[in-house]
């Protein structure tokens, strides 16, 4: 979290130098460190920490095999014979080592869960009769039914049906708590928090039928009017509420309960990335935090409700790491991952979810926005911050951010820039995956971006770049629906 004032995409805000680093980590552009070499590239990648040790093992095994054999080998050309045998043994050792590394570092995923061994979705299989949003799950991963519900500004529920094919608001008449709970559970939440009627001037809406165990898209009919012109506003979580509001502008240690959705992701007992709690079971973070051996769920812990790395008390383990299948590690496009926790988190004054924005909810240069994290507090800093830091930032128009004087076309439709073009206020290494959040008109905080990449920290004309949550909402909701508890 910096508070100071290349067509090739600049490096993401990846893991910082730690006292005890992960065992297999390397980057490009080596910068000497007394503990280990640090390298930076577009995304972190992972290799054996000391490749020379691997070569030494191979040679030792080869020599040991020869030393242990006292028998003479009968062949006309002994030198050629030994050379051929040595070559064959070396080839076998290398093959065995490759197989061992492949098995040892293979991510722990289920064979039939629709995800391949890299943590990315495998091709989906659908029947020839599949129709999107007809409430009949005709695809292997139910993808034909997972992008049929969304929320507009003001949490207005919208549903797409096979009958119409458009997202339409749902009439409030007929909605009760059981119906609301069913809709939220379909989306991967455990239950609903609140529902209420709101006025709508839409000429076409959806009326509710008698509730069954079907998906919501199968429980509505197209209607020309709603009774009293009221449609459903639905909240699946009590989200985006701060327990304290005292802040110091310009980058400061956060108060307890100030950003209660902020999580600290630890790999092998050290902070590596940040994330945001969006429900009792799911955390949103950056895809570039999970590459190679970092896909091993058993090496991670998710700490919630903490504002100091010296006082980490509440943690969860990760049941599954789900990386966006369209993530591009060269351009950092679609830099988002979803973590499914092994058990639901208990909400409290210091542990709360952040709100997901509506698909049409806009935040601009005038919005009150902050970013937070445990990352370094200055560019090139060697250690993560002990305290959770927060800094106020400005949303920057994508046209400006994509101009030749800033990032020269590297900003995709799935990215949003935020910070200060004059420099001085920015996220930094170790903040990856953490939140860019903005306050809505209802005084709740919404997750607008996910810390992804940037050129340096707090440099002039080089603001932070974040994954744009509104563009990635369909992926978030469809993934939560597929992985619902």
* Token pair listed for 351: 């542990």
**DSSP letter at 55?**
H
Q: Which of 432, 452, 467, 478 is catalytic?
A: 432
* Token pair listed for 150: 């969304």
Q: Which of 281, 335, 420, 431 is catalytic?
A: 335
Q: Catalogue the E-assigned strands of 278-425.
A: 282-285, 300-304, 314-316, 318-323, 337-341, 369-373, 389-396, 415-419
Closest to 282 (Cα-Cα) out of 15, 109, 483: 483
Rg (CA), the chain: 26
**3-state secondary structure at position 189:** coil
Active site residue 467: no
Handedness of CA 109, 112, 117, 122 (dihedral sign): negative
307 and 373 in contact (C-beta within 8 Å)?
no
Q: Which of 3, 288, 426, 452 is catalytic?
A: 288
Inter-residue long-range contacts of 163-168, CB under 8 Å, 24+ positions, other chains counted: 163/221, 163/222, 164/204, 164/222, 165/133, 166/204, 168/202, 168/204, 168/205, 168/206, 168/222
Active site residue 335: yes
Active site residue 288: yes
Closest to 374 (Cα-Cα) out of 254, 292, 260: 254
328 and 53 in contact (C-beta within 8 Å)?
no
* Token pair listed for 202: 């839409």
Please list the residues that pair with 115 across neighbouring strands.
121
Q: Is 399 exposed, middle or buried (0-12, 13-18, 19+ CB in 10 A)?
A: exposed
Catalytic residues: 288, 335, 432
């Amino acid at each position: 979290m910096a508070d100071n004032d290349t067509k090739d995409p600049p490096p993401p805000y990846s893991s910082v130098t730690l006292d005890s680093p992960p065992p297999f980590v390397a980057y490009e552009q080596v910068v000497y460190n007394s503990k280990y070499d640090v390298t930076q590239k577009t995304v972190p990648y992972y290799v054996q920490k000391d490749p020379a040790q691997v070569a030494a093992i191979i040679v030792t095994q080869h020599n040991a095999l020869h030393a242990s054999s006292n028998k003479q080998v009968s062949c006309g050309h002994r030198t050629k014979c030994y050379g051929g045998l040595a070559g064959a043994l070396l080839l076998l050792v290398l093959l065995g080592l490759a197989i061992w590394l492949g098995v040892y570092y293979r991510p722990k995923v289920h064979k039939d869960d629709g995800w391949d061994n890299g943590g990315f979705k495998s091709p989906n299989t659908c029947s020839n009769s599949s129709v999107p949003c007809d409430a009949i799950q005709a695809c292997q991963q139910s993808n034909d039914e997972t992008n049929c519900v969304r929320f507009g500004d003001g949490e207005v529920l919208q549903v797409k049906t096979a009958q119409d094919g458009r997202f339409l608001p749902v009439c409030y008449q007929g909605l009760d708590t059981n119906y609301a709970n069913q809709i939220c559970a379909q989306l991967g939440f455990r239950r609903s928090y609140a529902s209420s009627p709101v006025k709508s001037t839409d000429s076409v809406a959806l009326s509710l039928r008698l509730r069954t165990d079907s998906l919501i898209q199968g429980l509505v009919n197209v209607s020309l009017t709603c009774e009293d012109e009221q449609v459903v506003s639905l909240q699946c979580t009590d989200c985006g509420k701060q327990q304290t509001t005292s802040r110091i502008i310009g980058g400061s240690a956060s108060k307890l309960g100030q950003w209660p959705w902020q999580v600290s992701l630890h790999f092998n007992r050290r902070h590596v990335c940040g994330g945001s709690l969006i429900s009792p079971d799911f955390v949103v973070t950056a895809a570039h935090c999970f590459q190679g051996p970092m896909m091993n769920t058993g090496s991670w812990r998710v700490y919630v409700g903490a504002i100091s790395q010296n006082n980490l008390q509440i943690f969860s383990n990760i049941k599954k790491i789900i990386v966006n299948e369209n993530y591009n590690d060269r351009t950092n496009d679609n830099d988002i991952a979803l973590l499914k926790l092994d058990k639901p988190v208990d909400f409290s004054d210091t542990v709360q979810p952040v709100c997901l924005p509506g698909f049409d909810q806009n935040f601009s240069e005038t919005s009150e926005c902050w970013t937070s994290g445990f990352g370094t507090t200055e560019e090139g800093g060697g250690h993560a911050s002990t305290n959770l830091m927060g800094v106020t930032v400005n949303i920057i128009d994508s046209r400006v951010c994509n101009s030749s004087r800033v990032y020269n076309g590297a900003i995709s439709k799935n990215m949003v820039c935020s910070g200060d073009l004059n420099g001085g206020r920015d996220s930094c290494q170790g903040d990856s995956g953490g939140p860019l959040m903005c306050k809505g008109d209802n005084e709740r905080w919404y997750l607008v971006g996910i810390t992804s990449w940037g050129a340096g920290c707090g440099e002039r004309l080089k603001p932070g770049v974040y994954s744009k949550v509104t563009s990635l909402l369909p992926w978030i909701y469809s993934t939560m629906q597929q992985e619902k508890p």
